[in-house]
Every structure is written in structure tokens, then in C-alpha cells.
């Protein structure tokens, strides 16, 4: 056991593994750039986002600094009802067609930051609905990406866990797909249960590449006793990384917002610590955590919002 720095609960002999890839994905980078460009192009116009642009409270604060207002709540339509003028931005998680059309009918300037990977899954669902298929969609209840697909459509069935498959009825044509940020392992198990009950179902696995390679990197970790995932508690892809760490039998797995959370942890018994971050976690936050782990004498007391986006 190495030397324990007084009052830090930190073993200075600890080996630090920076998991790669980690952090921002292309869809998040794109969504933030769209929001920044909008703020720059329309400085005098009120700009609203229907929900969090990406699931990270620091990104929300950074956007606020640019004058962009995030309307919070699960019901996108109720949020839209609060907007009577200006610009409305749809988040990276996508939006249902009926809310898009409602925004246009209201005369709002509509800007769409939907990730192209999310859009591709939505398009696949719509193409199969048009051909008369029933849709089995694996996703998280109340998650905006899932809600945009389900959107009250009686032909779209949300599956949140394997046992849901038992409750589903029989249909001639079934198309199965999933929310892009689900666990690759959980989705594979649910696909298996569906294939057993519905051998004729057409299955399209739609985990996005960014989610897949971040999850595979966590699943491949060996001889690690502690895992830190930097990410927001509302971020599905961050939570799934933590889940996969636990499934990989890593003894201590922590989902932390920032370095301030890490400084409160007792890492006394950690010998090999791995660090990764969700696809919606600003690089600045992860780098602060790495800097602290590499030099715990440099305690951080504030997060600089200006460095977030």
C-alpha cells in the first residue's frame, strides 16, 4: 500500500488509467456548435431550448452565459407552450414530428440540433410505420429520445426491460430497434428475448458508434479496482458506462459530476483507478479530475463556467 496523503484519502502510488475514447461525441459537439452559432447570429432574439441540449447541467449553465434559455421538464409539448416568440432549438435527442409542426405553426424560428444518429433511427421507425409494421422500441421511459419516437403512437411499443417482452401481443410485421445510448449488453439480451418469441421480427440494432466504443472500452478494463465516470446523473450514456463498470466486477464505481465530487471520495484503498466520461461531459471537467488525481495537492474549489463550452 502506498503513502496516503494527509486529509486527502488519496494513495499517491495509485495507477491512473485514462480510458479512451471518452467524453464528447460528434453529436454533442455538433449540438453545442449549433447553439453557439445561433446565439452569435441572433443576439437580439430570445432563444429557447426545449429541454437540456445535452444531458449535462454545466453545459446548460454555459449556454445560459450565451443568453440561451433552457426550458426544463419532461413534456416537450408543455415546454413549447411556454414559448410565444423567437427561436426554439430542438435538442440532440430529437423531437417528434407533431411537436416540430406545432412549433412551425406557432411561427417560431425552428433550429434542429438532433444528432444525425438519432435522426436515422427515427427515420427507420417512420419508414416501417408507413409500411404497416408494429414497432418495438427499446428505450428508457421518460427519456426525450424515446419519447420523441413513441409520442403516443399506439403502434410503437416501448420496452424498458426484458420482462416487458412477455406482455407484448402478436403481430404479423414487427420492427425492433432501440434508443442510441442503451447498454450494448442489455439491448442484446432484450433482442434475444424478442427473437425467441417473434422469430419473424426484423431487428435493427441502433446503438450509436460513440456509445458502443465507450462501453466496449469500459468492458475491456482489467485489474482495475476503482472506476470514475465523469457525467451528469441525467445522462443515460454516462449511467450505462457506470453500469458496465459494475458488471465488469470493478469494486468501486462512482458517477461524479466534477472534480469537487471526486475530492470528497475516499480513494485510500484504490491501487488502479480508471477514468472515463459520458458523451455529454465537457472535456474541461474530465481534465480537471485527471489533473487532481495526478496531483491531489492542487485542490480545486471552483468550476469556471466560461471554460465549459
Rounded to a whole number of angstroms, the minimum distance from the CB of residue 237 to ligand SF4 is: 5
Rounded to a whole number of angstroms, the minimum distance from the CB of residue 116 to ligand SF4 is: 7
* 32 vs 99, beta carbon nearer ligand SF4: 32
Rounded to a whole number of angstroms, the minimum distance from the CB of residue 286 to ligand SF4 is: 16
Rounded to a whole number of angstroms, the minimum distance from the CB of residue 23 to ligand SF4 is: 11
Residue nearest to ligand SF4 (CB): 27
* 111 vs 115, beta carbon nearer ligand SF4: 115
- Is 196 catalytic? The answer is no
* 11 vs 215, beta carbon nearer ligand SF4: 215
* 53 vs 262, beta carbon nearer ligand SF4: 53
The set of cell numbers assigned to 184 is 450494448
Cα–Cα dist 90/104, whole Å? 12
* 55 vs 128, beta carbon nearer ligand SF4: 55
For 205, other C-beta atoms within 10 Å of its C-beta total: 14
Q: Enumerate binding residues for ligand SF4 (CB under 6 A).
A: 25-28, 92, 115, 117-118, 180-181, 208, 210-211, 237, 279
Rounded to a whole number of angstroms, the minimum distance from the CB of residue 251 to ligand SF4 is: 27
The β-bridge partners of 69 are 48
- Would the CA dihedral through 232, 96, 34, 28 be positive or negative? positive
- Catalytic option among 72, 85, 134, 145: 145
Cα–Cα dist 188/259, whole Å? 34
Rg over alpha carbons for the chain, rounded to the nearest Å, is: 21
Give catalytic residue positions.
Answer: 145
Amino acid at each position: 500500500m502506498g503513502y496516503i496523503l494527509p486529509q486527502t484519502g488519496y494513495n499517491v502510488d495509485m495507477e491512473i488509467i485514462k480510458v479512451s475514447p471518452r467524453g464528447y461525441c460528434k453529436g454533442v459537439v455538433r449540438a453545442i456548435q449549433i447553439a453557439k452559432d445561433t446565439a452569435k447570429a441572433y443576439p437580439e432574439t430570445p432563444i429557447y431550448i426545449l429541454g437540456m441540449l445535452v444531458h449535462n447541467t454545466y453545459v446548460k449553465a454555459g449556454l445560459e452565459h450565451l443568453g440561451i434559455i433552457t426550458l426544463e421538464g419532461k413534456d416537450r409539448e408543455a415546454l413549447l407552450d411556454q414559448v410565444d416568440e423567437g427561436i426554439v432549438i430542438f435538442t440532440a435527442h430529437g423531437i417528434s414530428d407533431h411537436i416540430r409542426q406545432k412549433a412551425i405553426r406557432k411561427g417560431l424560428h425552428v433550429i434542429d440540433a438532433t444528432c444525425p444518429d438519432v435522426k436515422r433511427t427515427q427515420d427507420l421507425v417512420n419508414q416501417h410505420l408507413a409500411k404497416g409494421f408494429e414497432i418495438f422500441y427499446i428505450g428508457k421511459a421518460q427519456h426525450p429520445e424515446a419519447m420523441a419516437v413513441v409520442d403516443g403512437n399506439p403502434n410503437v411499443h416501448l420496452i424498458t426491460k426484458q420482462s416487458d417482452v412477455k406482455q407484448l401481443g402478436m403481430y404479423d410485421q414487427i420492427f425492433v430497434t432501440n434508443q442510441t445510448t442503451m447498454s450494448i449488453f442489455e439491448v442484446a439480451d432484450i433482442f434475444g428475448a424478442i427473437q425467441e418469441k417473434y422469430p419473424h421480427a426484423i431487428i435493427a440494432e441502433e446503438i450509436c458508434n460513440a456509445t458502443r466504443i465507450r462501453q466496449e472500452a469500459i468492458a475491456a478494463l482489467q485489474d482495475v479496482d476503482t472506476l470514475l465516470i465523469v457525467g451528469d446523473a441525467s445522462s443515460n450514456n454516462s449511467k450505462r458506462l457506470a453500469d458496465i463498470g459494475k458488471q465488469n466486477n470493478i469494486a468501486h464505481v462512482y458517477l461524479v459530476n466534477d472534480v469537487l465530487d471526486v475530492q470528497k471520495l475516499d480513494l485510500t484503498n484504490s491501487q488502479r483507478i480508471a477514468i472515463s466520461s459520458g458523451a455529454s461531459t465537457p472535456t474541461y471537467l474530465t481534465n480537471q479530475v485527471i489533473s487532481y488525481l495526478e496531483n491531489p495537492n492542487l485542490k480545486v474549489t471552483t468550476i469556471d463556467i466560461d471554460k465549459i463550452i
